Structure 1
């Protein structure tokens, strides 16, 4: 970390908003006008809408992450966490991955911590659940599912086999529906290479407390998506929830009980709990309360946007919708980041702030190869698509929204190769404990046991 006499713009979080806001600020400000410092526990940003395709093996995991230092070469990138913020002194406490915590002074502050998985105190969930918020979880889920097929093929115990081939997904929003659609697709392909496993031997279950899935694309497309997944043999239980999953024994509120080694949790997100330690005004759900200019309420030097912010939806309110807030999605995060970056530079120069206003352009979701739903909003007209055309819309939109041309090209290259080559169905579960085999080879041999009197007598 370098010291500087220039004003410091501290960006807390290197996700979608943090990356794009920092990039926008550096593009707009003059040379030497300020120092931009980005703090995040990871040195890369993850494009989360592609995690289901990572889990299915359609995209290489390295291609859905963007290295912060490569994209922000003129910024300070610190790998660590901002644990507390002293607004009176304008000082943040940074805890690096290694070493002692230290204070970092700032003049302007951007809060872009994003969200974490929203969980409930369900017995067994912490031990058994798999989330879908990070690329590590996408890779882990893929390896885990393929490993279950290996286990089922290799055992003679019918209970072990049944538990390995049962897959439970909790949450029917974008993340849940897309992930179960992609993973079921992959498992169906993988089963062709196993002599004793067919798709009919597997059981996929999707559970949601709401009375519908995919609410983001509207009731009609949500209903079509549900019927489509059910036509592929996926069981869907709505208006129900999971009571417990201790040691893989899943108990649902509707009375259904199954044993499963795979419990994927995608039941929504909540603002990063670290926000509670920053002394910022928070909304009822823990989001940072912002004005339409993305400035934190009551301040003129702190901005927030994305999943950790409660941003008024100006466009909806002008249309007569009271108390409308921007939903947490990539569409808003990208556009908010640009307005936020412009406003930080304007605030630094003493210019007026601009309000963030964006009308919904629709939503797209992929449910596996060549399958999807899309709702495109054009003025007052809504175009609803399903099947292969919607899937093309899903890939086209997210492919172009992927940050940097480097990553765009790599993602489209993965898709192009996938058109001509068969899907990879190899499990690399050993990646999660790469030293295990070496440890077994290198650990000291146990000392020989002392000979008993009978053994000594026999030897003599």
Structure 2
């Protein structure tokens, strides 16, 4: 295995992860580093950052998929961008193992490392879950989900068997956090619009089910707002089950802890996240949840004190919440913290490179929460101020339209929203995305038409 050393004779800052935190941290470093002061290297399996709060709207057809991602190379001019997966971190010797897709792994050394690998779905050992469910953490999943659901509607319109049609048009979402609520609301909105285009279907043919293990949804908002969202979803025909677990979904037969059983061709898993498992194969200090332990200044800290040259923030880090509002005393894994931690981390890392010993503490008091519930519907809470309906929906779009990085993406997102306002939601599915060569293969395998002999005079 080759070791790629920094040949530029200057310190290398290695950013593991090109999500929001990694992208914005690298941008801040590049903006403030002096000429020749350091090399910034970003490693991520994807060549783009995904703005995850937009995934429900991508799945619901309100945002074009490419508008919800940001190119790393285009927006990190001057940095080394490596498309590959970090599979091992050896901080004692300051190198990582990088595995590019379809190529040989190699070792990459560094002087400072930023752990911004984010999180992955927290899947539970439920029979059938791995085989039948789909998560919603990647843009590819959102695109697949949209086209799969619209394809289910099209197929169901031709089905004469009631049980098969009911199975095709039953959509289950497990998880009642923000991601789960926004997902089921956006999809319900989209499906109702799609069903209206088929004379053989009615809204009564469609069933949406939300399963939440806790006694309430959306812990980021007050109980009155959460209760209103439950009532709102039920008025839209969504079956909301609280204090309920999905126990099994083998062969798409969903079994709930309340005793109910039914078939569903679409099962979406939105039941929480966990730190990226790349951290497990490292010599860095982790807590019981697999997160890198960090100080409020975002330096990694273990039992023996600060780990020199290591920084962490975002979903893969246990960062103290100095505002006192975090669960267990730590910042919760959401975009609101990642947005604000990135510039603090970059500032402190620059100070360390320049030999300074004073570092800024990360402090952010939760300003509130906004959620979209489909077109012109939403809920928000800013301190004691609560909003519902179109005002909350506008607040949701305004906040996230502002928060997505780069002017290019902001313009495309707002332009897309404006077009949807005039033209309506786009419910046209694209077929065979999982097997794009299907038509070509079928054509290549088809038998040629028999050759006709010319008629004799």
TM-score by length of 1: 0.93
Asked if residue 387 in structure 1 is aligned to residue 395 in structure 2, the reply is no
Matches within 5 A, 1:221-232: 221-232=225-236
SS of the equivalent of 2:224 reads: helix
For the 8 Å contact 2:92–2:283, the answer to whether it is kept is: no
d(CA) in 1 for partners of 2:359 and 2:22? 19
Asked if residue 295 in structure 1 is aligned to residue 299 in structure 2, the reply is yes
**Partner residue, 2:366:** 360
For the 8 Å contact 1:217–1:373, the answer to whether it is kept is: no
d(CA) in 2 for partners of 1:32 and 1:429? 49
Shift of 1:83: 1.3
d(CA) in 2 for partners of 1:79 and 1:313? 32
Asked if residue 431 in structure 1 is aligned to residue 437 in structure 2, the reply is no
Q: Which of 304, 311, 325 matches 2:319?
A: 311
Asked if residue 324 in structure 1 is aligned to residue 332 in structure 2, the reply is no
d(CA) in 2 for partners of 1:24 and 1:322? 29
d(CA) in 1 for partners of 2:159 and 2:235? 29
d(CA) in 2 for partners of 1:278 and 1:403? 30
d(CA) in 1 for partners of 2:198 and 2:371? 30
d(CA) in 2 for partners of 1:91 and 1:443? 50
For the 8 Å contact 2:348–2:360, the answer to whether it is kept is: yes
SS of the equivalent of 1:418 reads: helix
1:8-43 deviations in whole A, cap 9, x for unaligned? 000000001000110111111111110000000000
Cα RMSD over matched residues?
Answer: 1.5
1:316-365 deviations in whole A, cap 9, x for unaligned? 28xxx895111111110011011001111111011121111111111100
Matches within 5 A, 1:25-36: 25-36=29-40
**Partner residue, 2:237:** 233
Q: Which of 411, 414, 429 matches 1:412?
A: 414
Q: Comparing both structures, which one devotes a greater share of its residues to helix? A: 1
Shift of 1:88: 2.2
Asked if residue 159 in structure 1 is aligned to residue 166 in structure 2, the reply is no
Shift of 1:181: 0.3
SS of the equivalent of 2:147 reads: helix
d(CA) in 2 for partners of 1:154 and 1:444? 26
Shift of 1:277: 0.5
Aligned length: 439
Shift of 1:444: 7.8
Shift of 1:5: 1.1
**Partner residue, 2:61:** 57
TM-score by length of 2: 0.94
SS of the equivalent of 2:420 reads: helix
**Partner residue, 1:456:** none
d(CA) in 1 for partners of 2:437 and 2:313? 40
SS of the equivalent of 1:296 reads: strand
Q: Which of 376, 380, 403 matches 2:382?
A: 376
**Partner residue, 2:152:** 148
SS of the equivalent of 1:215 reads: coil
d(CA) in 1 for partners of 2:266 and 2:7? 48
For the 8 Å contact 2:83–2:100, the answer to whether it is kept is: yes
Q: Which of 289, 296, 303 matches 1:285?
A: 289
For the 8 Å contact 2:370–2:379, the answer to whether it is kept is: yes
**Partner residue, 1:335:** 340
d(CA) in 2 for partners of 1:25 and 1:443? 54
**Partner residue, 2:253:** 249
For structure 2, the 5+ residue unaligned runs are 449-457
For structure 1, the 5+ residue unaligned runs are 447-460
**Partner residue, 1:402:** 404
d(CA) in 2 for partners of 1:243 and 1:73? 48
d(CA) in 2 for partners of 1:193 and 1:421? 15
1:259-280 deviations in whole A, cap 9, x for unaligned? 0100010001010111110111
SS of the equivalent of 1:428 reads: coil
d(CA) in 2 for partners of 1:10 and 1:327? 24
Q: Which of 183, 193, 208 matches 2:197?
A: 193
Please say which of residues 253-262 and 1-10 is displaced more in the overlay. 1-10
Asked if residue 69 in structure 1 is aligned to residue 77 in structure 2, the reply is no
**Partner residue, 1:455:** none
SS of the equivalent of 2:323 reads: helix
SS of the equivalent of 1:195 reads: coil
Shift of 1:201: 1.1
